[in-house]
Amino acid sequence: GVDKKILVIPGDGIGQEVTAWGQKVLVTIAENYKHNFVFEEGIMGHVAIEATGNPLPDETLEKARRSDAILFGAIGHAKYDNDPSLKVRPEQGLLKIRKELGLYANLRPIKLFDELLEASSIKPEILRGSDILFFRELTGDVYFGEKNRTENMASDLMIYHRYEVERIARKAYEAARTRRKKLCSVDKANVLEASRLWREVVQGIAKEYPDVETEHMFIDNAAMQLIKDPKRFDVVVTGNLFGDILTDEASQIAGSMGMLASASIGDSVGFYEPIHGSAHDIAGKGIANPLASILSAALMLDISFGLKNESQRVIKAVEATLKQGYRTMDIANKHTDNHLVMGTDAMGAKVLENLN
């Protein structure tokens, strides 16, 4: 077996509830396959502000640097969402750890389990067979450009450097080569200078991958095409802000926000997290879907540890659980037997049973 050190950062709200299950799945995999996973815990977000005044304490960042991989939940609290004037905010912790660890590529796979065809608000015949891999650039764009604020003016600079576009584009092309060999680059090059650089750079990289079919699409059209005909997409590469928005939209292709896992990779350690947030509306109720966290753990096993069999085993256990009819409320539908709709812990326990 392998020796790995994993930092777990549950964060806030449902992050606390679902990350416990991602971790339990990793513990079970370690037992079953004789690996040695050592876990540490770190704080980030609102809980960290409450404890230390800092959304990303140095101690958490140090633990992150020492680890082989990080399992993260979510951050956020209603208090900040409702008061834009607060200067110290949970989200700053997440943005800072992404930047500090050089996590420039955020992989967001959108794969529909057949069992969830009926759970989406999109028609089954449109959805069936959808399988998209998003590469969202994660350490640039309007998120990290200079900010300005006066009483009556505010600005966030949208900025991209050539090297930032090149490295994410290469990662996306490499992935496209192992898939259906189609890449769609999404930008707003008809209006934005940053997007014109983006498009120019992707056009250049495209020449290195003549075996991959390249398409450029404007963000507004992409948002529409995604719902009109999701099957037309294979790999999608886009900037930080557009990628954030498009993948929440794309969660409906997989049935729910509660199904979407992600991997953030770059210079060193890998960071694994659901794409969803702390979900104030359901936090504390024990009803959040733990599958996004569990599938994030599966991505960790595959991408950071190279444990492909173990990763597939987790995905199969999720599939088996769905086949048995078990659902959290976000993926239940009118045909679902009420007896099979359950909370976070019951659902997580079913997945563990299917791992054994």
* Residues flagged as binding site for substrate: 98, 108, 136, 220
Query: Does residue 244 carry a catalytic annotation?
Result: yes
* Cβ–Cβ < 8 Å for 11, 60: no
Rounded to a whole number of angstroms, the CA Rg of the chain reads: 20
Query: Does residue 187 carry a catalytic annotation?
Result: no
Candidates 244, 249, 319, 345; binder of Mn ion (CB under 5 A) is 244
**CA atoms in the 13 A half-sphere facing the CB of 348:** 25
Strands 3-11 and 36-41: parallel
Q: What tokens were used for 97?
A: 């750890």
Query: Does residue 281 carry a catalytic annotation?
Result: no
Q: Which of ligand NAD, Mn ion, ligand IPM, none interacts with 238 (beta carbon under 5 to 8 A by kind)?
A: none
Q: Which of ligand NAD, ligand IPM, Mn ion, none interacts with 279 (beta carbon under 5 to 8 A by kind)?
A: ligand NAD
From CA 276, how far away is CA 283, in angstroms rounded? 12
From CA 82, how far away is CA 75, in angstroms rounded? 15
Task: List, in sequence order, the alpha helices (H) in 115-218.
Answer: 124-127, 162-177, 193-206
Amino acid in the structure at residue 259: M
Indicate whether 81 belongs to the interface with ligand IPM (CB under 6 A): no
Phi, psi angles (nearest 5°) of residue 153: -150, 145
Least distance from ligand IPM to the Cβ atom of residue 94, Å: 5
Least distance from Mn ion to the Cβ atom of residue 92, Å: 15
Q: Which of ligand IPM, ligand NAD, Mn ion, none interacts with 95 (beta carbon under 5 to 8 A by kind)?
A: ligand IPM
- Per-residue binding string, ligand IPM, 217-256, x by CB under 6 A, is ---------------------------x------------
Indicate whether 118 belongs to the interface with Mn ion (CB under 5 A): no
Near ligand NAD by CB under 6 A, which window of 71-79, 151-159, 183-191, 299-307? 71-79
| 299 CA to centre of own chain | 10
207 membership: H or E segment, kind and range: none
Candidates 91, 156, 166, 319; binder of ligand IPM (CB under 6 A) is 91
Near ligand IPM by CB under 6 A, which window of 49-57, 91-99, 144-152, 192-200? 91-99
From CA 171, how far away is CA 316, in angstroms rounded? 26
Which residues are at the interface with Mn ion (CB under 5 A)? 244
Which residues are at the interface with ligand IPM (CB under 6 A)? 91, 94-95, 244, 275, 277
Residues that are catalytic: 143, 188, 220, 244, 248
